Amino acid sequence: MLTNFLTLIPTLTAVQDTAEPTEIEAAVAAINGDMGMLWMLLSGILVFFMQAGFTLVETGMTRSKNAANIAMKNLLDICVGSITYWLVGYSLMYGETSNGWFFWSGLMQGEGADLFFQTMFAATAATIVSGAIAGRTKYSTYAIFSIVMTALIYPIAGGWQWQGSGWLTNLGFIDFAGSSVVHSVGGWAALVAAIMVGPRIGKFVDGKVFSIPGHNQILATLGVFILWLGWFGFNGGSQLAWGGADAIGASNVVLITNLAAAAGGLGALVTTWIWYGKPNLPQTLNGALAGLVSITAGCGNMTAVGAVVAGLIGGIIVVFSIEFIEKKLKIDDAIGAASVHGVAGVWGTIVIGLWGVDGDTGIGLFNGGGAGQLGVQALGSLAYAVWAVLLSYIVFKILKSTLGLRVTEEEETVGLDLSEHGEIAFPGKRDRG
């Protein structure tokens, strides 16, 4: 094989010597285009695999009697998201616009690697809500919200930044892979859902907060590893191209992503070790996820050191946020989704305005860029939070007034596996859920 290749070198050299520069450039561009398409497809496949990670995290961090229900919700998200985003979502996100706020180019837009990759993001936004309201929400109600999230809430807001002519794009807002566009929108929707559905039975009694531990922390840990892996496609694929400078850029994004995730996990680990007296596994898992969310917006605009600090702070913030939402606000977010995705999503967006870079140029408040970028990042974060909270509240309010949001007390006690699906995830007699 090597001998055959060596014999081709003179021929290749002769072709290069006789070809016009424009022909060579065209050939290189065609190869880069094909490689970019392949990179997006592979990245989209990795993001698809994140649905398995979400399933394991949500299942492991909640009670076993609701495991099949959670699996059904995650399966629903990818099924519904694939259809609704193809049907209307892509057009609402990447269609034509005259005002930078709303977009449309007709039904069933998008094709190939681009549509596939973007669809996976829409499904992720919906899945974030699932874990927060685990154990007490009607499956039919969740199904309707999943449709609205992937068809309307996420796509419209996504276009503000990623369509190219959105009002936030025109202001100079930066969100490379979706700390706000995907995670913050999903996180704030999760918080609204948790408030409106209400706490699980036994979570808050006489003003006291009682722990409802997950049934399998090994499943949750495996889920986080899967999500961590999938995030390389989530962030790296958002380069949307491969070859030359794009290959270098995407590679750096993957490296930056890994550093932030590691720092986030360590941040939560040390924080819980000091606060609780022992390192806490569920909080450390959420810290790693918070580190990933914290770098998602800035993975293309952050140095390695900046990424480590951003992830570290994100891992610390998420511990305090989970404690505050649960013990001070008395909101039952079963897996800490609002903190991991909403709060860390805001932090990941704003941090670009603190020490973000554009190439070798500092654009943050602390590295010579002034306060301008910080102001734009704060405005964008606020816009996505307001949009997610307002639209989610309207949808859940309508559902609460019609179908209802919550299963009965008896159904919740028995478990959603049996009451909603007529089956259980783990056959056999058990003494507790």
pTM of the entire predicted model: 0.93
pLDDT digits (tens, 9 = 90+) for 175-186: 999 999 999 999
Residue range 159-165: average pLDDT?
Answer: 97
Measured distance CA(156)–CA(189) in Å, rounded: 15
List CB contacts of 77: < 8 A, sequence separation 6 or more: 51, 123, 126, 127, 130, 146, 150
Which tens digit of pLDDT belongs to each residue from 251-292? 999 999 999 999 999 999 999 999 999 999 999 999 999 999
Mean pLDDT, the chain, integer: 94
Query: Is residue 15 scored above 50 in pLDDT?
Result: no
Mean pLDDT of the 199-206 span: 96
**Distant-in-sequence, close-in-space partners of 284: CB < 8 Å, separation ≥ 6:** 265, 268, 269, 272
Looking at residue 327, what is its pLDDT?
Answer: 96
Question: How many CB atoms are closer than 10 A to CB 408?
Answer: 12
pLDDT at 21: 72
For 92, the 3-state DSSP assignment is helix
Residue closest to 152 by CA, chosen among 103, 111, 219: 103
**pLDDT, tens only, 95-123:** 999 999 999 999 999 999 999 999 999 99
Alpha-carbon Rg for the chain, nearest whole angstrom, is: 23
Neighbours of 318 (CB within 10 A): 30
